[in-house]
Amino acid sequence: MIGLARKRPTLIGIDISSTSVKMVELSRTGTGYRVEGYSVEPLPGSAVQEKTIQDVDAVGQAIKSAHKRLGTSNKLCALAVPSSAVITKVITMPAGLKPDEMEGQVQLEADQYIPFALEEVNLDFEIIGPAPKNPDLVEVLLSASRSENVEMRVAAAEMAGLNTKVMDVEAYAIEHAYPLLADQATELDRDALVAVIDVGATMTAINILHKQNLIYTREQTFGGKQLTEDIMRRFGLSYDEAGRNKKEGGLPDSYVPEVLEPFKDVMAQQVARLLQFFYAASTHTQVDQIILAGGCAAIPGVDEQIESRVGTLTRVGNAFSKMSLHPRVNPRRLGSDAPALMIACGLAMRSFD
C-alpha cells in the first residue's frame, strides 16, 4: 500500500487478473461518485498464472488496449498485488513518534516478521489508530511484498504509457469498495460480519469484514476456468471456443443440467469450505451475509445456490448501483460486469482518500 494522503488527480483503477485487465475511472459528484468509464481487455492464456505475471509485454499491451478503449487522457493509475503475495502484521508503537522516527522503527520491527532480506521487499505501513488497551500506543499495519511483484506490475503499466501512483493489495481494494456494497444492501447492518467472496477465472478469495474493516483473507485455486474446461470436454470444443460460447451462448440444451448446474454446486462447496477455514481460525461461527464478486458471480442463480447450501443470505455485489454514469457507459453492460470490477473500483476510489 503505497498511499498518497494529500489531494491529487484522479487515478484509473487497474485490476490485473489471470485472464484480463480491468479498468475503472471514477469522479466525485457531491457526496457520491460517477463512473467516467470502464474497460475489460482479455489476456493471452500464459501471460498471468495464478496472479503472477509471466509475460510483462503481453500484460503491457493489454493495459495499453484497455486504456485506449477507456477513452481518457488520464495517465495516472492505481494497481494492486495479490493478497497471497503480501505479508501483513499489526504491530504497536509509541503514539508520539514523528513520521521519520516511525518509519525507522517500522524498518527495525519489519526485520522480525518478514522472511526475506529487506532490500528484496517493498515495505509500507499505515497507522490504524490508538491501541485499544493503551492510549500511549498506536496500532500500525505493516505490509510487505517481494519487490518483483510490484516492479512487474509497474513495468507493464509503464509500457502502456501510464504512471503508477498507488500500489495497493487486492484485499484492501475490496475493503475500500465495501461501503458501496453495504449501501447497496439495505438490510445490512454497517457493523455486520460479512464475507466478500471473489470467484475469478483461476483463484477464489474470501475477505471477511467486520464493522467494515478487513479481519481475514484467504485464497485458493478455483474459478471459472474449470467451467470452461468442463465445456471443452463435454462438447469437444477448443478452449477459446468454449470460453466464447460460455459468455455468448450457443451451447446445446444439455449444457445447463449437465455442465453448468454441477459447476454451480462445486462453487457452492468451495464457498462453504472457505467459510469453514475462517470459522476454524476465529471465534465466529456464522457470517451475517455473503457478497459475491468476480466473474463467476454473474452466473445466473449461483447466489441462490450458495445461500441454500450454507444457510446465509447471499447477494451479488454491485459497487456501482448508486453511482451516476457518463453517457458513454452502458448501464446494462456495467450491471453485468460489476461483480468482476470490484477490485478495480476500490483502486479507483484511492483517488479520493
pLDDT above 90: residue 29: no
pLDDT tens-digit map of 154-177: 999 999 999 999 999 999 999 999
**DSSP 3-state of 221:** strand
- State the Cα–Cα distance between residues 45 and 160, nearest whole angstrom: 20
Residues 170, 341: Cα–Cα separation, whole Å: 12
Q: What nine digits make up the cell of 285?
A: 461461527
Secondary structure letter of residue 43 according to DSSP: -
Would you state the cell numbers that stand for residue 187, as one nine-digit string?
A: 438490510
Is pLDDT above 60 for 5?
no
| pLDDT for position 186 | 59
The pLDDT score that the predictor gives to residue 264 is 97
Single-letter amino acid code for the residue at 113: Y
Q: What pairing do the DSSP bridges indicate for beta strands 314-316 and 20-29?
A: unpaired
Q: Which of 58-62, 143-147, 183-187, 283-287 is the least confident region?
A: 183-187
Q: What is the CA radius of gyration of the chain?
A: 20
User: Helix, strand or coil for residue 153?
Assistant: helix
Q: Are 13 and 77 in contact (CB under 8 A)?
A: yes
- Write the Ramachandran bin of 164: left for phi over 0, alpha for psi from -120 to 50, otherwise beta: beta
- The one-letter amino acid at 328: R
Rounded to an integer, what distance in angstroms lies between the CA atom of residue 153 and that of residue 16? 8
Which domains, and CATH codes, for the chain?
12-84+150-185+318-352 (3.30.420.40), 86-146 (3.30.1490.300), 219-310 (3.30.420.40)
Confidence label for 187 from pLDDT (cuts 50, 70 and 90) = low
Task: State pTM to two decimals.
Answer: 0.90
**C-beta of residue 196 within 8 angstroms of C-beta of residue 174:** yes
Could you tell me which of 258, 174, 270, 256 has the C-alpha nearest to residue 222? 270
Contact 5, 165 (CB under 8 A): no
